[in-house]
A and B are shown apart, each in its own frame.
Chain A
């Protein structure tokens, strides 16, 4: 069965420091996509970054990068130079080209001034 796991319910980081949010997945499919979304307190889900299973380079989008380790089936999100506005819930998601995206339970990030 396909499964996605985020083991950190909550994380604290000091402003301007980097933080890594963990995500592992389980699938027997060879072709899949991994996503990270941010959900601020307003509730809207904001797409951050995407990694395809055949992409050889780790995805990067501004301060966000995805540490993709295919053999370990992990897709950790790294946020560099944390800002107060980064405080939010972060969801890892997984899609295999079917019609369903599976979301993890989320990690709540708190950025301290």
Chain B
């Protein structure tokens, strides 16, 4: 079955540690996205990638980094520079980023907690 997988589902981090969240898709989509969701709130864009080896900052990129070495993979690293990283992280993909019909397919999410 085609879809998006994220791992791990739950992640605990000590202050000062970097952690990497995995996102893989087998939908052959060009565009991929990372969002952050805080309790009771909507989604905020962290980074997006239109194509392999290219990515752009979203609204809240500070303290995060990404890579896009393969079309199907878009890992997100939460660095120690991110002061309040406890949140729910959602990865998404779409066929292409620039189309008006830009239905995004989402992964199941990773819940990150800083201890």
Q: What size tier do the contact residues of chain A reach? A: 20 to 34
Contact B97 A47 (CB under 8 A): no
Which interface residue of B33, B40, B103 has the most chain A CB atoms within 10 A? Answer: B103
CB 8 Å contact bits of A32-62 with B (1 = contact, 0 = none): 1101010000111111001011000000000
In the complex, A97 Cα to B98 Cα: how many Å?
5
In the complex, A33 Cα to B96 Cα: how many Å?
14
Kindly provide the distance from the CB of B75 to the nearest chain A CB, expressed in whole angstroms: 19
Contact B108 A31 (CB under 8 A): no
Contact B48 A100 (CB under 8 A): yes
Q: Which residues of A contact B58 (CB under 8 A)?
A: 100
Does B76 reach chain A (CB closer than 8 Å)? Answer: no
Interface of A: prevailing SS: loop
Kindly provide the distance from the CB of A89 to the nearest chain B CB, expressed in whole angstroms: 9
A-B contact pairs, 21 of them (CB 8 A): A32-B100, A35-B103, A37-B106, A43-B88, A44-B107, A44-B109, A45-B43, A45-B92, A50-B101, A52-B100, A53-B100, A95-B100, A97-B98, A98-B98, A99-B48, A99-B56, A101-B33, A101-B102, A104-B42, A105-B42, A106-B42
